[in-house]
């Protein structure tokens, strides 16, 4: 897709969805876009998906929170869970799709997981990742492998749909950095 007013930072897009595979850097990019554009950004894992104790928030609550965010004039959302994607999609003005090679997103995910475990960082609404959680059957690493093809297929579908919002498909961190620079200072 060519760059036009709706697809470049500083253009008219004020409701932006960041989408990509697990570990691609969606939250980091959402935060950077929000800060540069002066738009509130939202973390799906913290605000919608998880409650303390690694309890998944009930779907009806997730949908209600997603609807509240989507109704606002401006926002950046760092992903869209399939359970409530239909709630936000009619309001999205721009999709920023992080379509990176698996080696890139997996390396980032592994590095992030190790850092979070070692530093005991709080994530996902105050929870902590552990070594056991990193390797169990519901681990974020296994989730990466399970969902990788479906997330890329979703990006392809959005790109091919001329009736949907514009899609800025970014295929590498360097390309993302160049695109983000149009907001001002480069992403750290």
The answer to whether 67 and 59 are in contact (CB under 8 A) is no
Pull the structure tokens for residue 39.
């738009």
Q: Which domains, and CATH codes, for the chain?
A: 15-101+150-183 (3.40.50.300)
pLDDT above 60: residue 185 = no
pTM of the model: 0.88
Q: 61-106: per-residue pLDDT in tens?
A: 999 999 999 999 999 999 989 999 999 999 999 999 999 999 999 9
Cα atoms in the 13 Å half-sphere on the side-chain side of 52: 1
Pull the structure tokens for residue 9.
């930072």
| DSSP structural state of residue 96 | E
Closest of 82, 87, 49 to residue 67, by C-alpha: 87
Rounded distance between C-alpha atoms, residue 181 and residue 172, angstroms: 14
- Which residues sit opposite 75 in a β-bridge? 15
pLDDT of residue 80: 87
pLDDT above 70: residue 46 = yes
Q: 144-180: per-residue pLDDT in tens?
A: 999 999 999 999 999 999 999 999 999 999 999 999 9
Pull the structure tokens for residue 77.
């959302």
pLDDT level of residue 125 (50, 70, 90 thresholds): confident
- Estimate the crossing angle of helix 173-180 against helix 26-37, to 10 degrees: 10
Q: Which long-range contacts (CB under 8 A, 24 or more apart) does 135-143 make?
A: 140/22, 140/23, 140/109, 140/113, 141/106, 141/109, 141/110, 141/113, 143/22
3-state SS, residue 14: coil
3-state SS, residue 116: helix
Rounded distance between C-alpha atoms, residue 105 and residue 51, angstroms: 25
Rounded distance between C-alpha atoms, residue 112 and residue 165, angstroms: 31
């Amino acid at each position: 897709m060519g760059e036009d007013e709706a697809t470049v930072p500083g253009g008219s897009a004020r409701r932006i969805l960041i989408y990509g595979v697990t570990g691609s850097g969606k939250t980091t990019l959402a935060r950077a876009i929000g800060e540069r554009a002066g738009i509130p950004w939202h973390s799906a894992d913290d605000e919608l998906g998880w409650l303390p104790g690694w309890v998944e928030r009930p779907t009806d609550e997730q949908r209600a929170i997603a609807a509240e965010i989507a109704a606002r004039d401006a926002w950046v959302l760092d992903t869209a869970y399939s359970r409530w994607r239909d709630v936000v999609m009619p309001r999205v003005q721009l999709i920023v799709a992080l379509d990176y090679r698996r080696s890139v997103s997996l390396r980032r995910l592994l590095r992030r997981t190790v850092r979070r475990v070692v530093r005991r960082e709080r994530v996902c609404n105050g929870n902590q990742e552990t070594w056991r959680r990193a390797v169990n059957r519901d681990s974020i690493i296994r989730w990466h492998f399970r969902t990788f093809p479906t997330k890329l297929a979703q990006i392809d579908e959005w790109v091919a749909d001329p009736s949907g919002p514009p899609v800025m498909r970014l295929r590498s961190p360097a390309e993302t950095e160049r695109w983000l620079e149009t907001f001002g200072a480069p992403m750290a």
